[in-house]
Copies of this chain bind each other. A is one copy, B any other.
Amino acid sequence: MKIGILGGGQLARMLALAGIPLGCEFSIFSPDREACAAPLGRFVCSDYRDEKALMELGASSDVIAFEFENIPVQAVAFLGPHLPVRPGAEALRLAQDRVLEKTLFTELGIPCATFFPVDSLEDLHRAAASTGLPAVLKARRQGYDGRGQTLIRQSDELAGAWQRLGGQPAILESLVDFDREISVIAVRAVSGETAFYPLSENTHHHGILRLAVSQPHDPMQAQAEIYARRLLDRLDYVGVLALELFQAGDHLLANEYAPRVHNSGHWTMEGAATSQFENHLRAIMGLPLGSTALRGVAATMNLIGTVPDKARILGIPNTCLHLYGKACKPGRKLGHVTVCADSMKQLQQILSDLSGLLSSEAVSAVAETGHYQNQKEGGCA
């Protein structure tokens, strides 16, 4: 089957690597000439508003996917009438706007932080009076890896925060004092069949995901699945969806969802019977879903900004290296290491060895424990 992917980053690249053995052929659409997925398929390099180029992608595809929620929804909506786009434009549209996304959570009875749309400084003052401070001001759109977010601790910071955001449509969210961040990677087939991976417990640092650890038999698994299923069914979703959640006491609060494969699910590549990439492809191709069962325990440690010496990484037993073919740049996700182990104790030991190789920035993220706050967490690509 011929699959067209809007976006050419590492998620498209790993989808292609998972799909080639399934007999898929890929076309990659990206405005970025250096798109790291481009070498794995036919490459259409153009702007997302270029309808001629989009038609070219459509003509060489049986189904369209996207790898990133900041793809213009117009591109997806344009292709929709011509061939299946999975998941559809609606899942993308709602994920692109934090107000619509949190409104959806609320409609579906999925708890989340108190929020108010903010379109002016006056709105912001009113919103802050309702949420109380501290609160987090976020751009409604185009936010990921913690970009476009400001923590406001006192009312005299409101004007400065609004100015820093440049007056764009925003959302003010009450600050969630949470114990841990988790995510559930869910997948839904064309038939409506669903499957869920074991939860991932996630550690961010400077807004970027550093570490994601599989959680077998997590007490919050059932509740997270209930929430994810509501989203999947409401959106008549096809493919993998990631729901990021905060746990505060015994409660879960939704942070955001990503209508795609997700960094916190990369450990499924070697750590689950079927990877999230393969299951996304199986779903959008109308094939049966694969088992989401864990194989032992597993974790993903991201490589941010630089890549340590390969020989030293691979010298640590049970590590699998996944590089994205991207040039080094501070704060950039260049790859990840999957670690698999038979027990959580063994996993932690390996992660500790691995963290010794990473930059001090990453090391400190690994060393930190518990208690994060959502001003750092804008989701992770």
Binds B, one of A63-71, A155-163, A204-212, A285-293: A285-293
Q: Which chain B residue has the least Cβ–Cβ distance from A311?
A: B287
A357 within 8 A of B: no
Binds B, one of A14-22, A216-224, A232-240: A14-22
Contacts of A3-51 to chain B: CB distance below 8 A? 17, 20-23, 40
A315 within 8 A of B: yes
* Structural contact, B318 and A273, CB atoms closer than 8 A: yes
Residues of B within 8 A of A310 (CB): 22-23, 287
* Structural contact, B321 and A21, CB atoms closer than 8 A: yes
Contact (A322, B21) CB under 8 Å given A314-B282, A340-B273: yes
Contacts of A271-304 to chain B: CB distance below 8 A? 273-274, 282, 286-288, 290-291, 295-296
Number of interface residues of A (CB under 8 A): 30
* Structural contact, B318 and A291, CB atoms closer than 8 A: yes
- Option from B286, B317, B321 in Cβ contact (under 8 Å) with A291: B317
Complex Cα–Cα for A20 and B16 (A) = 11
Residues of B within 8 A of A322 (CB): 21
* Structural contact, A290 and B273, CB atoms closer than 8 A: no
Contact (A325, B17) CB under 8 Å given A288-B314, A314-B287: no
The complex is assembled from copies of this chain, and their number is: 2
A77 within 8 A of B: no
- Option from B21, B288, B318, B321 in Cβ contact (under 8 Å) with A311: B288
A323 within 8 A of B: yes
Complex Cα–Cα for A263 and B17 (A) = 20
Complex Cα–Cα for A291 and B17 (A) = 22
Nearest CB of B to A132, in Å: 47
Complex Cα–Cα for A93 and B23 (A) = 34
- Counting chain B CB atoms within 10 Å of each CB, which of A22, A40, A295 scores highest? A22
Complex Cα–Cα for A340 and B296 (A) = 14
Complex Cα–Cα for A265 and B325 (A) = 28
- Option from B21, B296, B321 in Cβ contact (under 8 Å) with A323: B21
Complex Cα–Cα for A340 and B294 (A) = 13
Nearest CB of B to A160, in Å: 43
Complex Cα–Cα for A288 and B310 (A) = 9
Complex Cα–Cα for A290 and B22 (A) = 25
Complex Cα–Cα for A290 and B320 (A) = 9
Residues of B within 8 A of A335 (CB): 21, 23
Residues of B within 8 A of A287 (CB): 310-311, 314
Complex Cα–Cα for A336 and B318 (A) = 25
- Counting chain B CB atoms within 10 Å of each CB, which of A20, A40, A288 scores highest? A20
Contact indicator per residue, chain A 316-332, by CB within 8 Å of chain B (1) or not (0) = 01101111010000000
* Structural contact, A22 and B323, CB atoms closer than 8 A: yes
Q: Which chain B residue has the least Cβ–Cβ distance from A312?
A: B288
Complex Cα–Cα for A17 and B18 (A) = 9
Q: Which chain B residue has the least Cβ–Cβ distance from A285?
A: B310
- Option from B20, B23, B321 in Cβ contact (under 8 Å) with A22: B321
| A-B contacts, 11 listed (Cβ < 8 Å) | A17-B17, A17-B20, A20-B325, A21-B322, A23-B323, A23-B335, A40-B40, A282-B314, A288-B311, A291-B317, A295-B295
Identify 5 new A-B residue pairs, CB closer than 8 A, beyond the known A23-B321, A273-B318, A291-B317.
Answer: A17-B17, A17-B20, A23-B325, A287-B311, A288-B311
